[in-house]
């Protein structure tokens, strides 16, 4: 290799060795940088806030649905991203729609500061706009069910279950949970966070989190008990007596079936007290339903 190839020609025509100039790596990457909480993002320059938002949104998804990844608008100039910051700045809610009048977002995520200095994934979902919609989010009178946690639309839930959906889903998802969590981890790395937490709102959500590397802060023993009691002869298996469409014996053997049965109240108590944690870039290897199929 010629000696001159070790040099870079600048715009002024001066040949500069690549190692010349101020070395800044030590200042860019201190040994223990302080985590940046969400409520401080508003103090950042708008260009940096915009860049952090772009990290959250998969570029290929935007392009697939005709959304410009730079200005987040369609060809007609309609803004298709929505960002809501909580009044105190400790929470952010993101939505992206494929059309201005779309009923459901393509992707939706809410993150929040925790009292312990970490960041929590409060909500994450995706919807395939080309898939059939099942109105499990409203009852037969049009009142919100809060995805079946307050009231239920049984007829819509039965149809959703038959179509392969899990509790709380109004449409088939885009099968991009792992990609969204990868984006989330990149954002957290930018904010100097080594881990984040989540509170799964259903049994199937906890299993999905497990399979993307999460472990438990609370609830692992309960999850393992659920798996044991859904085995033939177990307490939960015996309750799959066909008394409702959500309590058929075969539901013991799938993630989705178990989740519907739990949603239907098969446990002695409501679904609660499950909290999970993920260290960025690491898989905890937890599996409370070994071999479980969707």
pLDDT digits (tens, 9 = 90+) for 256-281: 999 999 999 999 898 989 999 999 99
pLDDT of residue 32: 75
pLDDT of residue 21: 59
pLDDT of residue 5: 54
pLDDT digits (tens, 9 = 90+) for 158-171: 999 999 999 999 99
Rounded distance, CA 153 to CA 135, Å? 8
pLDDT of residue 87: 83
pLDDT of residue 292: 96
pLDDT of residue 1: 45
pLDDT of residue 255: 98
Nearest to 112 by CA among 45, 36, 38: 38
What stretches in the chain show pLDDT beneath 70? Answer: 1-22
Give the residue ranges of DSSP H helices in 140-276: 154-162, 177-190, 203-210, 220-229, 235-239, 255-263
CB–CB of 137/147 below 8 Å? yes
């Amino acid at each position: 290799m010629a000696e001159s190839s070790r040099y870079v020609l600048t715009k002024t025509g001066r040949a500069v060795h690549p190692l010349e100039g101020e070395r800044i790596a030590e200042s860019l990457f201190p040994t223990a940088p302080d985590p940046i909480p969400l409520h401080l993002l508003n103090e950042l320059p708008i260009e940096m806030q915009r860049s952090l938002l772009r990290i959250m949104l998969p570029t290929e998804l935007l392009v697939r649905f005709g959304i410009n990844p730079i200005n987040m608008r369609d060809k007609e100039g309609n803004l298709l991203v929505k960002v809501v910051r909580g009044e105190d700045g400790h929470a952010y809610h993101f939505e992206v729609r494929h059309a201005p009048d779309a009923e459901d977002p393509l992707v939706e995520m809410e993150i929040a500061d925790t009292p312990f200095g970490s960041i929590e994934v409060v909500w994450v979902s995706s919807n395939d706009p080309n898939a059939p919609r099942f109105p499990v989010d409203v009852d037969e009178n049009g009142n919100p069910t809060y995805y079946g946690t307050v009231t239920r639309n049984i007829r819509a839930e039965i149809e959703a279950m038959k179509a392969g959906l899990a509790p709380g889903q109004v449409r088939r998802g885009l099968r991009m949970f792992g990609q969204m969590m990868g984006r989330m981890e990149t954002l957290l790395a930018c904010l100097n966070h080594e881990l984040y937490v989540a509170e799964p709102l259903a049994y199937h959500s906890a299993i999905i989190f497990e399979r993307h590397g999460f472990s438990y802060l609370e609830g692992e023993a309960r999850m393992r008990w659920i798996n044991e009691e859904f085995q033939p002869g177990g307490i939960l298996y015996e309750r799959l007596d066909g008394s409702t469409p959500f309590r058929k014996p075969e539901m013991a053997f799938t993630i989705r079936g178990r989740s519907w049965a739990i949603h239907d109240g098969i446990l002695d108590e409501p679904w609660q007290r499950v909290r999970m944690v993920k260290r960025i870039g690491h898989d905890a290897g937890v599996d409370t339903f070994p071999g479980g199929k969707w």
